């Protein structure tokens, strides 16, 4: 880092006892730093974007001759999410138009993310290729959010036509679209939302794991928002196909007021099938699980799709730790019900046991190792 | 230790501070705010 600077959002405050509060007010970001000798406060004050790390360490040593390891103090602070590189400039791969379009994204990533360069997350989004399978209540919101966020290539897949009863929740369609293939209408709408990305579509259903594997070939991630042939079976297909391809997937849905999203990566956490087995073992034997019924409103569908998109963005950017190997959610009629499904992998699981590690390559793309 | 907690050195309170102790501690939920002041722009 050339010119360390405490991020504007995280500017520190010092209490009377010398303790430093940094990172604002949000749980997960805000922190306190014990600083009985004032060394950290001095270092943070020096990190105003005008000095190098070496210069800061020199000045820190001059201000506190008793400090034995000024370089270490600076180094550790620079490694936190609270410090950015004032010398960093937006990458050349982003146009001026994109810099303007995604300026709020950048501010968000700067707030929540680590790293000296907050445009890196946007660059990763731009380099990502994502399949959105299912363009209904969940998928329409997810696809919109991914397009708005700047995912570079989105492939939209759904076999259905737009119906009037879809319009209570499916954000990509209007009355003029009734009777039109969802994939076609979605592509047109998303291209209108963001012409700086590539949006393609395919009106088709996925009828087998092999078909799903063919669909995701060459893509970086799958947003699974489909519930046919049934929600569980297609998720099992996704679990197997994405593990074989070495790519992550996110699946979301709702059942009335209950909204959940699962996030699965090929190199960390428990796979979907292991989570399902864990949940099955947790239930009273013989208890039927019926998640059917048409009840859904715009809010539950919107939350579902937005949670899918957010998990996907977290996966693609690494800006916040994605909850890999878990299912999380909210219950709109029970404010104290926070869903968090987490179970250990099953011994001998064919998916977890054959995982392919994934990583970001130099272009910010996820690729099999 | 969470990723945002950094034990830079270990303090020895009985001796001169040849070792520095700096701890960055993420605040607990109860210590942070639940308020949002976004104006939605």
* DSSP of A31-66: EEE--TTSHHHHHHHH-BSSS-HHHHHHHHHHH-TT
What is the distance of C-alpha B16 from the center of its chain?
A: 23
- How much is the average pLDDT of A112-129? 86
Say if CB A189 and CB A172 are below 8 A apart.
yes
Chain B CB contacts of A73 under 8 Å are 8, 20, 22
**Residue A180: other Cβ atoms inside 10 A:** 15
Say if CB A151 and CB A221 are below 8 A apart.
no
- How much is the average pLDDT of A243-253? 95
Inter-chain touch A27–B19, beta carbons under 8 Å: no
Say if CB A301 and CB A141 are below 8 A apart.
yes
Q: Is pLDDT of A114 > 80?
A: no
Tell me the two tokens of residue A136.
Answer: 């209904």
Q: In this predicted model, what pLDDT tens digit does every residue of A195-221 receive, in sequence order?
A: 999 999 999 999 999 999 999 999 999
Q: Is A27 on the interface with B (CB under 8 A)?
A: yes
pLDDT at A346: 86
pLDDT at A162: 98
Residue with tokens 């590539």: A198
pLDDT at A211: 97
Left if phi > 0, otherwise alpha if psi is -120 to 50, otherwise beta: which for B20?
beta
Inter-chain touch A73–B25, beta carbons under 8 Å: no
Left if phi > 0, otherwise alpha if psi is -120 to 50, otherwise beta: which for B40?
left
Rounded Cα gap, residues B29 and A269, in angstroms:
25
Rounded Cα gap, residues A275 and A115, in angstroms:
32
Residue in A closest to B41 by C-alpha: A104
Helix (H) / strand (E) containing A105 = helix A103-112
Strand arrangement, sheet containing A13-14: A13-14, A20-22, A31-33, B24-26
pLDDT at A229: 86
pLDDT band of residue B40 (cuts 50, 70, 90) is low
Q: Is pLDDT of A360 > 80?
A: no
Inter-chain touch A80–B21, beta carbons under 8 Å: no
pLDDT at A359: 41
Pick from B13, B8, B30, B33: which is nearest to A33 by CA? B8
Rounded Cα gap, residues A37 and A46, in angstroms:
16
Closest CB from B6, B19, B29 relative to A76: B6
Chain B CB contacts of A81 under 8 Å are 4
| Min Cα–Cα distance to chain B from A32, Å | 5
Q: Calculate what percentage of chain A has a pLDDT beyond 70.
A: 93
Q: Is B12 on the interface with A (CB under 8 A)?
A: no
Question: ω into residue A105 within 30 of 0, thus cis?
Answer: no
- How much is the average pLDDT of A169-196? 98
Residue with tokens 């919109």: A144
Q: Where is pLDDT greater, at A79 or B36? A: A79
How far is residue B35 from each of residues A1, A81, A141, A329, measured CA to CA in Å?
A: 34, 22, 26, 21
Q: Is B32 on the interface with A (CB under 8 A)?
A: yes
Tell me the two tokens of residue A157.
Answer: 């897949």
Inter-chain touch B4–A68, beta carbons under 8 Å: no
pLDDT band of residue B8 (cuts 50, 70, 90) is very low
ipTM here: 0.71
Tell me the two tokens of residue A281.
Answer: 């073992």
This prediction has a pTM of 0.88
| Min Cα–Cα distance to chain A from B22, Å | 6
Q: Is B26 on the interface with A (CB under 8 A)?
A: yes
Task: Give me the residues paired with residue A200 across strands.
Answer: A155
């Amino acid at each position: 880092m050339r010119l360390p600077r405490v991020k504007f959002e995280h500017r520190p405050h010092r209490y009377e006892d010398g303790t430093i509060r940094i990172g604002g007010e949000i749980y997960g970001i805000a922190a306190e730093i014990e600083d009985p000798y004032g060394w950290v406060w001095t270092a943070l004050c020096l990190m105003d974007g005008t000095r190098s790390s070496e210069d800061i360490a020199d000045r820190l040593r001059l201000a506190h001759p008793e400090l034995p390891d000024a370089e270490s103090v600076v180094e550790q602070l620079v490694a936190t999410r609270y410090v950015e590189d004032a010398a960093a400039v937006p990458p050349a791969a982003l146009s001026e138009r994109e810099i303007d379009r995604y300026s709020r994204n950048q501010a968000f990533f700067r707030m929540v993310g680590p790293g000296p360069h907050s445009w890196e997350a946007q660059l990763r989004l731009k380099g990502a290729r994502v399949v959105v399978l299912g363009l209904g209540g969940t998928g329409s919101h997810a696809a919109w959010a991914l397009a708005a966020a700047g995912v570079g290539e989105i492939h939209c897949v759904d076999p259905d036509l737009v119906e009037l009863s879809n319009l209570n929740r499916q954000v990509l369609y209007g009355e003029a679209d009734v009777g039109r293939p969802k994939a076609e209408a979605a592509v047109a709408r998303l291209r209108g939302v963001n012409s700086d990305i590539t949006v393609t579509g395919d009106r088709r259903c996925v009828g087998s794991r092999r078909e799903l594997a063919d669909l995701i070939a060459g893509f970086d991630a799958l947003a699974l928002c489909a519930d046919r042939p049934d929600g569980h079976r297609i998720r099992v297909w996704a679990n197997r196909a994405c593990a074989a391809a070495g790519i992550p997937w996110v699946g979301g849905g709702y059942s009335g007021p209950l909204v959940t999203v699962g996030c699965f990566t090929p190199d960390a956490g428990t796979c979907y099938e292991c989570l399902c087995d864990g949940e099955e073992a947790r239930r009273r034997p013989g208890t039927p699980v019926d998640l059917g019924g048409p009840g859904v409103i715009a809010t539950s569908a919107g939350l579902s799709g937005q949670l899918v998109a957010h998990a996907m963005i977290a996966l693609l950017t690494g800006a916040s730790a994605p909850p890999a190997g878990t299912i999380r959610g909210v219950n709109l009629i029970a404010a104290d019900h926070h869903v968090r499904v987490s179970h250990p992998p099953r011994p001998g699981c064919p998916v977890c046991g054959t995982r392919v590690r994934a990583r970001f390559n130099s272009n910010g793309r996820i690729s099999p190792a | 230790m969470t990723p945002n907690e950094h034990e830079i050195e270990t303090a020895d309170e009985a001796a001169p501070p040849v070792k520095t102790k700096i701890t960055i501690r993420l605040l607990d939920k109860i210590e942070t705010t639940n308020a949002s002041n976004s104006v939605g722009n």
